[in-house]
Structure 1
Amino acid sequence: MPLLGHHAFITGGSRGIGLACARALLADGARVTIAGRDAASLERAAAQLSPGVATCVLDVTDEAAVQAAVAAAARQLGPITILLNNAGQALPAPFAKTSSRHWQQMLDVNLTGAFHCTQAVLPQMLDQGWGRIINIASTAGLKGYKYVSAYVAAKHGLVGLTKALALELASKNITVNAVCPGYTETDIVQDAIANIMRTTGRTQEQARAELAAGNPQQKLVQVEEVANAVAWLCQPAASAMTGQSIAVAGGEVM
């Protein structure tokens, strides 16, 4: 159990990639706090996990709430040494119809939320002399996608933040990496499928096939595949891995 004694704080932890990562880190011995905006979803997720999992209702765009949540989590389960910035949102719109409000929302949720959480947790990692910060970006942080320009810009920003912070912390025994899934079986992808069906008249299977077509393996990525990459990066044996953006995408990005 390589993560025994460590405390992982996971945003967007009630479903999808966040929930799969919580399960993987628990299996490696970590204590886990899952955070999200919906209390009922968090409770359902906690019921699927270890009885010792803590939950935290949190909007990552609220800086004061993040500071308070991180402090409370540390009091409950000990200092946080693993941070998974997984909370995210993707809303489609052609660039010409992307309002400033839409633009700011994508930046707030996908980029500024990670900034708030990292600033709140970092002092605990520095005190402990050990840390793992993992940002769930996207292949959208490594390439472009049409009709989601605000989301793509935010995820590119998250990859940039990963690189800059990795350099700052390289001598502090704290690693910072990004995991960049391709289209994955999550609520975000279900929303994308529904949008394709609504705007094009395609069936659900046709919409799924359209998303999977960009993956050379011709499939959607599974959340457990993303969680496996995250769990490996958290292990002490991955101490030389920092500043990396790892695509979990079936060869879509090389």
Structure 2
Amino acid sequence: MMGGAQPLAGRHALVTGGGRGIGAAIARQLLALGAAVTITGRDRTRLEASASAMGCQAVAVDVTDSAAIQNGFAQAAQALGPIAILVNNAGIAKAAPFARTDLGLWDDILRTDLTGAFLCTQAALPDMLKAGWGRVVNVASTAGLTGMAYCAAYCAAKHGLIGLTRALAVELASKPVTVNAVCPGYTETDIVEETVTNIVAKTGRSREEALAGLVAANPQKRLIKPEEVAEAVAWLCLPGSAAITGQSIAVAGGELMVG
């Protein structure tokens, strides 16, 4: 993207859940575009190892803890300047039949995948408005655009995240701050690998059969690469993407054709 250009030079980007998978790919892409980057996560050891490898800042933050977010974001801003780009990527995915989705599982997923993005956006937004420029990108899922069996809590959280994206985009339309969502299909991450392992254990299918089942709805018949999601996120962060707001962009090999 953009060759050797540095269109995000001077901008501080914070990526939650940035220590691995999609979050790490997003951080690398934003760094390549010239942004100063902070990655956050709960696993301090992995987070710091990833930050050292990428050449960015690491701040341990639990997105379900409001005080930790406020303290962590203040620490990040003190080191690299006000946060101009926020990527709400932190999330968890757990599958269960609806009848076995207890309140603990429901609360855990909604608190992490939806309330976490709400709290992080509230923490970062004031500086964006003060600076007169900002980008918020929420990493949702195709599960936020359609229903999926055995994923009631996850679908509810991701649908909620898209609703938050749209509502905030309208509210901030007169400001130079955009709010968008990127919705990956099944992506080459540890979470998907765990899903495949669980399918194999519960059904007796081979790994190849389990994986084929996951990508069956994808016309390209493959997993999405984290770097492909990162490219979409980075595009939304560019100065030239100022007219793009309130959108939910599926990065899913044609799995969903959203009108």
Normalising by structure 1, report the TM-score. 0.98
Amino acid aligned to 1:192: T
Please state how far the C-alpha of 1:239 moved relative to its aligned partner. Answer: 0.4
Task: Report the RMSD for the aligned CA atoms in angstroms.
Answer: 0.6
SS in 2 for 1:109: helix
2:156, 2:92 → 1: CA distance? 13
Pairing 1:3–2:14 present: no
Question: 2:205 corresponds to which residue?
Answer: 202
Is 1:113 aligned to 2:113, yes or no? no
Report SS of the residue matched to 2:83: coil
Specify the alignment match of 2:194 in structure 1. 191
- TM-aligned CA deviation for residue 12 of structure 1: 0.3
- The runs of at least 4 aligned residues of structure 1 exceeding 2 Å deviation read none
> Where in structure 2 are the equivalents of 1:144-223 lying within 5 Å?
144-223=147-226
The residue identity in structure 2 corresponding to 1:184 is T
Aligned residue for 2:3? none
What is the SS of the residue equivalent to 2:34?
coil
Counterpart residue number, 1:27: 32
| Structure 1 match to 2:65 | 62
What are the residue-to-residue correspondences of 1:87-102 with 2, within 5 Å? 87-102=90-105
Shift of 1:152: 0.4
- Counterpart of 2:76 in 1: which secondary structure? helix
Of residues 137-146 and 198-207 in structure 1, the stretch that sits farther from structure 2 once superposed is 198-207
Q: CA deviation at 1:46?
A: 1.3
Once residues 226 and 44 of structure 1 are traced to their aligned partners in structure 2, the CA distance between those partners, rounded to angstroms, is: 22
Residue of structure 2 aligned with 1:17, choices 16, 22, 26: 22
CA distance in 1, matches of 2:121, 2:109: 18
Does residue 94 of structure 2 align to residue 130 of structure 1? no
- Displacement, 1:148? 1.0
Question: What are the ranges of 5 or more consecutive residues in structure 1 without an aligned counterpart?
Answer: none
Question: Residue 108 of structure 1: CA displacement?
Answer: 0.3
Q: Report the Cα offset of residue 40 of structure 1.
A: 1.1
SS at match of 2:179: strand
What residue number does 2:80 align with?
Answer: 77
Q: Which whole-Å CA distance do the structure 2 matches of 1:188 and 1:170 have between them?
A: 34
* Equivalent-residue separation in structure 1 for 2:53 and 2:25 (angstroms): 11
* DSSP 3-state at the match of 1:206: helix
Measure how far apart 1:48 and its partner are: 2.1
Rounded to whole Å, the distance in 2 between the matches of 1:46 and 1:72 is 16
- Equivalent residue letter for 1:134: V
Deviations 1:206-243 (A, max 9, x none): 11111111110000000000000001000000000000
Deviations 1:83-104 (A, max 9, x none): 0000010111100010011101
Whole-Å Cα distance in 1 between the matches of residues 50 and 173 of structure 2? 34
- Give the percent of matched residue pairs that are identical in Structure 1 and Structure 2: 62
State the one-letter code of the partner of 2:229: V
After superposition, what is the alpha-carbon deviation per residue over 1:167-204, rounded to whole angstroms, capped at 9, x for unaligned? 01111100000000000001111111111111111111
CA deviation profile, 1:48-89 (whole Å, cap 9, x unmatched): 212xx1101111000011011111110010000000000010
